[in-house]
Amino acid sequence: MTALALPILTEPSESLSDLIPSRRPDRTQRQLFDSHGRTIRDLRISLTDRCNFRCVYCMDPDVRFAPNEHLLSQQEIIRIARIVTSLGVTKIRLTGGEPTLRPDLCEIITGIRTWSNVELAMITNGSTLTPASCQHWKAAGLNRITMSIDTLRQDRFARLTRSTTTPQQVLAGVHMCIDAGLTPVKLNAVLIRGFNDDEAVDLAEIARTFEIEVRFIEYMPLDSGHRWDTSKWVSAAETRAAIELQFPLISCDIDDESTTARTYRFADGAPGRIGFVAPVSTPFCGACSRLRLTADGKVRPCLFSTREWDIRSLLRDDRATDDDLAHFLMDVTWSKQAGHGIATPEFEQPARPMSAIGG
């Protein structure tokens, strides 16, 4: 069989073999591992770059979305999921944009579940959930849902998301997920100094009320306007200190070193947990087990990668076998950088925002 070209987005004249480290991975092991000794167990698949929110820390109002023909098809997504499962991936997260805007979402879930016994979760802003949709996704094979809510105040919510959705609608979605068995439900919150950083305790109380995990994610440089600056950043340590003035916390045991969140339970025995994801102040790159696939078919070894690898061309090449795709993914994983270096002077913000990369 004729060797296939392995194109990338940023430098299409180069092949993957020109750019990965000289020592290739041992493909006979049929695993995704990098040159730093980390094994990939978690793939995040973005289903669409479209979103019905325009969150200020992610997307400017005038962002233009990719044409539909550039997005991976249902069958292409399912094929990748099947291949990565054969390479040892045990967790798949469906992201966006807003993944519930994908009209064939239920079919994608069913297709992935048909070929794989992975833990299958979805990350959503919660605005489009209905009891029926949650039940359909659960029946199709979705295990759980993570949602986002950054403020409980309607005026702030409107300013932050630039949408007509209300915080009450998002919280109603939590009930829907619990009723459908899409658990454990997790809620993500991003605090921005001078905007919603005074709501840490109120957001933490949701964990007690709903008996779920609320996770505070540090504000990251992933906005489309590239206006991120440290003056708006609130550290996980500061957020924890604010919460503990009202609700003392006790650290939970770490079950998986590769997990992004460090979790705590309430000292008074109340249900629910609090998690802190601190990529800026406390990077967890050394134990990272994640790989990302964008909606338009680019593989990103790191959320903050400045280079991404085009697997869509291979998927649409009739000559490409599953082994070709598997070898491509192995080689891309091998090129995964040691860390993102947000706190260093050399850090370079990715050209694409979170909505285009996949949350």
Render pLDDT for 265-287 as a digit per residue (tens, 0 to 9). 999 999 999 999 987 777 667 78
Distances from the Cα of 291 to the Cαs of 187, 253, 310, in angstroms?
22, 25, 14
Q: What pLDDT is stored for residue 344 in this prediction?
A: 57
Domain count, the chain: 1
For the cut 90, the answer to whether the pLDDT of residue 352 exceeds it is: no
Task: Tell whether the torsion through CA atoms of 96, 355, 191 and 276 is positive or negative.
Answer: positive
Q: Which two tokens stand for residue 339?
A: 């860390």
For the chain, what's the residue count?
359
**pLDDT cut 70: percent of the chain above it:** 85
Q: Say if 6 falls within a structural domain.
A: no
> Nearest 5°: phi and psi at 123?
-110, 125
Q: Is residue 4 part of a domain?
A: no
* The two structure tokens encoding residue 223: 């906005």
> Which of 46-55, 146-155, 201-210 shows the lowest mean pLDDT across its residues?
46-55
> Nearest 5°: phi and psi at 298?
-110, 135
Q: What are the tens digits of pLDDT across the range 143-188? A: 999 999 999 999 999 999 999 999 999 999 999 999 999 999 999 9
Domain-located, residue 3 = no
Distance CA 61, CA 242 (A): 32
DSSP assignments along 5-54, one per residue: P--BSS-TTS-HHHHS-SS---GGG---B-TTS-B--EEEEE--S--S--
CA atoms of 190 and 313, how far apart (whole Å): 35
What does the pLDDT read at residue 219? 84
pLDDT of residue 12: 39
| Structure tokens belonging to residue 312 | 């869509």
Q: What is the mean pLDDT of the chain?
A: 87
pLDDT of residue 281: 76
Residue 320 within a domain? yes
CA 27, 30, 31 angle in degrees (round to 5)? 100
Q: Name the least confident of 74-78, 138-142, 278-282.
A: 278-282
Task: Give a yes or no: residue 194 inside a domain.
Answer: yes
Q: Which residue has the tokens 């992933």?
A: 222
User: Residue 191 sits in which domain range?
Assistant: 16-357
Report the pLDDT value the prediction gives residue 349, as an integer from 0 to 100: 66
Q: Are strands 309-310 and 298-300 parallel, antiparallel or unpaired?
A: antiparallel
Within the chain, residue ranges assigned H as helices are 16-19, 74-86, 105-115, 131-140, 154-161, 167-180, 200-210, 236-244, 312-315, 322-334, 354-357
From residue 206, give the alpha-carbon distance in Å to each of 133, 144, 151, 163, 264. 23, 18, 11, 22, 14
Peptide linkage before 184 cis (omega within 30 of 0): yes
- Whether residue 291 is contained in a domain is answered as yes
Looking up residue 75, the CATH number of its domain turns out to be 3.20.20.70
- Whose CA is closest to 299, among 327, 259, 339? 327
**Does the residue 9 lie in any domain?**
no
Q: What is the pLDDT of residue 104?
A: 98
Could you tell me if residue 7 is inside a domain? no
Question: Does the pLDDT value for residue 198 go beyond 80?
Answer: yes
